[in-house]
Amino acid sequence: MLRQKKSLSIKDKNSPEIIQIILVISAYIAAQILSDITSLKIITFVGFSMDAGTLIYPITFTLRDLVHKAIGRKGSLVVIITAAAINLLMAGLFWLVARFPYDVNAGSQPDWDAVLSPVWRIVTASIIAEVVSEIVDTEAYHFWVNSITRRYQWGRVLFSNALSVPLDSLIFCWLAFGTVFPAAVVWSIFMANIIVKGGVTLAGLPLIYLIKSRPEDGGA
Report whether pLDDT(7) > 70: no
Q: Mean pLDDT across the stretch 77-97? A: 94
Nearest to residue 60, comparing CAs of 19, 40, 39, 32? 32
**In which band, very low, low, confident or very high, does the pLDDT at 157 lie, cut at 50, 70 and 90?**
very high
- Pick the residue with more confidence: 18 or 47? 18
pLDDT in tens, 158-206: 999 999 999 999 999 999 889 888 998 888 889 888 999 999 999 999 9
- Pick the residue with more confidence: 49 or 13? 49
- Cα–Cα distance between 210 and 187 in angstroms, integer? 35
SS3 188: helix
- The whole-angstrom distance between residue 170's C-alpha and the CA centroid of its chain comes to 16
Q: Mean pLDDT across the stretch 76-83? A: 96
The angle at the Cα of 208, spanning 203 to 211, to the nearest 5 degrees, equals 145
SS3 202: helix
Asked if residue 83 lies in contact with residue 130, where contact means CB atoms within 8 angstroms, the answer is yes
- pLDDT on residue 29: 96
Q: Which amino acid is at 127?
A: I
Report whether pLDDT(12) > 80: no
β-bridge partners, 82? none
For a pLDDT cut of 70, what percent of the chain falls above it? 90
pLDDT in tens, 20-71: 999 999 999 999 999 988 888 888 877 777 888 888 999 999 999 999 999 9
- pLDDT on residue 215: 58
Most confident by average pLDDT, 13-17, 75-79, 149-153 = 75-79
- If you ran DSSP here, which 8-state letter would residue 44 be given? E
Report whether pLDDT(141) > 60: yes
The residues, ordered by sequence, that sit 6+ positions from 210 with a Cβ below 8 Å of its Cβ are 20, 66
Most confident by average pLDDT, 88-92, 103-107, 209-213 = 88-92
- CATH number given to 16-217: 1.10.1760
Mean pLDDT, the chain, whole residue set = 86
**In which band, very low, low, confident or very high, does the pLDDT at 217 lie, cut at 50, 70 and 90?**
low
Per-domain residue ranges for the chain? 16-217
- pLDDT on residue 97: 87
Return left, alpha or beta for 154; rule: phi > 0 is left, psi -120 to 50 is alpha, else beta: alpha
- The whole-angstrom distance between residue 146's C-alpha and the CA centroid of its chain comes to 23
